[in-house]
Amino acid sequence: MKISIKVKFSLFLLTLLLLTVFLLRMFILRGIRENQKIEYESYLKQQTVLSEAYLRQSFLASSELLPEVFLKENAEILTKDLLSYTGLETALFSLEGALLSPRKETLNEETLKELLPHALEGSTLYRARGNDLFYLTPLSLENHRVGILAFYYSLRNENSFYESTASRFLYVGGAVFLVTFLIAYLYFRSYAIDILHLNRSVEKIESGTYDFPVSGRSDEIGSLSRGVFHMGQKIRTTLDNMREEERKLQEAVEKLEILQKQQKEFIGAVTHEFKTPLTSIRAYLDLLSMYPEDEALLKKALSAIEEDTERLYDMVEKSLELSKLEHYAPQAALTSLPLHEVVEEVIHSLKGKMEKFGLSLRKDMEEVHILGDREALIITLSNLLDNAIKYNRPQGKIHLKVYRKDDVGIFYLEDTGIGIPENLSQRIFDPFYTVDKNRSRETGGVGLGLSLAMKYTELQGGKLRLLSSSKEGTAFELSFPIAPESNEKSDS
């Protein structure tokens, strides 16, 4: 038969409290008895000393020279005086064991006969029977043992106190037992309830239910309850993850189909972008074959073929760079770089292009050292600045800023270009995507510059963001972690 933990706790408490009350009663009553014994032994010793002092004083005050004779002749008077002096019934015996004082009912002769031989040998002893205590001790006067002094001491008060204490302890102990048992039962009942809740929680986990109340206790049971709850949550998470993996596997085919579609679109975009300049080149070649003597046509054809060739070369180079980044995951060699100097280098390389389009440049640059890869950083900056030039308005403006903000070095680029519609701002970093196809063909743009810039920025652990875009222009922000030695200098 399965016994509930509540019943086990109750039986254990009952046994424990009964044993505690019994042992407590036993030790307390024993302590009372021992304390009484110490008190009346000390009291009787004290009375012995006082009695000997009184007898010595009486002997010295008498004319008798022999203490034995004095004790024998004055025994009756001396016992009466000792009774009034000590408050105890007293008897005097000679060294031969003869009773010198008058017989008294309180002095039990049988008990005295048992104790007297030991007292005559020089021992102090007593015997307690019921409410009576008989105390015998050798009596000495002038350093000579002259007899035996016997006291009768009533234990009625001590026994009465002992019995009343035992009786009270029984009632009080019973009441304390009941109250303690009730309090302990209520206290341990909360433990039992929490343990039963834990058991039910485990059963819920077994049945697949993972939501159940958690104990608010701050002890081990509360910790166990929270542990069971977290275990259940982990089991649920594991099962959810398994279901999620199963769902992902089911979606794998759909994703593969989407990837195939995207691949076809990418190939189509590449084919289209390559086909456009090739078609233009072929058309001019056909015209030249038809009109080889036309100088104006030749001049125009050479210029157009040169532009289309540069566009094809740029497209191939950037496509290869993008493919390398996507498929080979190169590692960046991160070192401390002076961002302001690299920006100046890129500006110098594109200065001729800016002058060609009649653009004005404003620079606000601080000395900032970042953690980056020099070649990757040049490619990133070149593509961003090249886009700002190609898609700017005639006689437009470009504003550059290099500065430090907290632990980040920032390159800010703003132009007065054609802008990017808000609904297209999320796609500008996609390969071969251009906002204005006609403008891209005019300027030689292929839609790979921002894709490369984003890839190379992420390769270096930086961030590239489109801050704003409108008809008045576009603003980008490029940020990189500050180089460690730069932090040390700023701290010092």
Q: What CATH number did the domain enclosing 447 receive? A: 3.30.565.10
Domain shared by 355 and 482, yes or no: yes
Where in 333-433 does DSSP place strands (E)? 335-338, 360-365, 369-372, 397-405, 408-415
HEC-encoded secondary structure of 38-79: HHHHHHHHHHHHHHHHHHHHHHHHCCCCCHHHHHHHCHHHHH
Q: Is the predicted pLDDT of residue 478 greater than 80, yes or no? A: yes
Please check whether residues 381 and 472 belong to one and the same domain: yes
* Tens of pLDDT, residues 410-441: 999 999 887 777 666 566 766 655 555 444 44
207 in a structural domain: no
**Euclidean distance between CA atoms 368 and 483, whole angstroms:** 9
Could you tell me if residue 421 is inside a domain? yes
The CB-side HSE value for 251 (13 A sphere, CA atoms) comes to 7
Measure the CA–CA gap between 422 and 418, rounded to whole angstroms.
13
393 shares a domain with 360: yes
Measured between alpha carbons, how far is 393 from 273 in angstroms, rounded to an integer?
24
316 and 341 part of one domain: no
Q: Range with the lowest mean pLDDT among 14-23, 24-33, 422-431? A: 422-431
Q: Residue 89 is part of which domain span?
A: 5-166
Is there a single domain that holds both residue 342 and residue 464?
Answer: yes
If asked whether residues 357 and 282 sit together in one domain, one would say: no
Q: Which of 5-19, 129-143, 261-275 has the lowest mean pLDDT?
A: 261-275
Model confidence, pTM: 0.41
Report if residue 195 sits inside a domain. no
Contact 314, 347 (CB under 8 A): no
Which residues in 67-78 are b (16+ Cβ under 10 Å) and which e?
bbebbbebbeeb
Q: 211: number of CA atoms within 13 Å, CB side?
A: 0
In this structure, are 294 and 365 located in the same domain? no
Check which CATH number belongs to the domain holding 222 and give it: 1.10.287.130
As a whole number, the mean pLDDT across the chain is: 79
In a domain, residue 202? The reply is: no
In a domain, 226, yes or no: yes
Checking if the pLDDT of 344 tops 90, the result is yes
DSSP lists the bridge partners of residue 476 as 413, 466
- Examine the pLDDT at 379 and tell me if it is beyond 80: yes
pLDDT band at residue 331 using 50, 70 and 90 as cut-offs: low
List, in sequence order, every residue forming a beta bridge with 336; answer none if it has no partner.
371
Cα separation, 105 vs 89, whole angstroms? 10
Note whether 280 and 357 are same-domain residues.
Answer: no
210 within domain boundaries: no
Domain shared by 271 and 337, yes or no: no
Best-predicted range by mean pLDDT among 185-189, 217-221, 260-264, 320-324? 185-189
Q: Which of 329, 352, 382 finishes a domain? A: 329
Q: d(Cα 388, Cα 413) in Å, to the nearest integer?
A: 8
* In a shared domain, residues 365 and 469: yes
Say how many C-beta atoms besides its own lie within 10 A of residue 238's C-beta: 10
- Mean pLDDT along residues 434-463: 66
- Residue for token digits 């070149």? 382
Residue 466 bridge partners (DSSP): 476
The answer to whether residue 178 sits within a structural domain is no
Rounded to 10 degrees, the C-alpha dihedral 289/295/300/303 comes to 90
Short-list 88, 81, 105, CA closest to 48: 88
Domain stops at, among 282, 298, 329: 329
421 and 285 within one domain? no
Last residue of a domain, one of 309, 329, 349: 329
Gap between the Cα atoms of 411 and 480, Å rounded: 9
Which range (126-140, 171-185, 349-363, 383-397) has the least confidence?
171-185
Examine residue 399 and state whether it is found in any structural domain, yes or no.
Answer: yes
Based on the domain organization, do 394 and 479 belong to the same domain? yes
Please give the tally of structural domains in the chain.
3
CA 359 – CA 385 distance, rounded (Å): 12
DSSP assignment, residue 483?
P
Q: What strand order describes the sheet that includes 89-93?
A: 89-93, 144-154, 132-141, 125-129
Task: Please state, for a pLDDT cut of 90, what percent of the chain lies above it.
Answer: 12
pLDDT over 80 at 10, yes or no: no
CATH assignment of the domain containing 48: 3.30.450.20
**Tens digit of each residue's pLDDT (9 = 90 or more) over 203-237:** 777 777 767 677 766 676 677 777 777 777 787 78
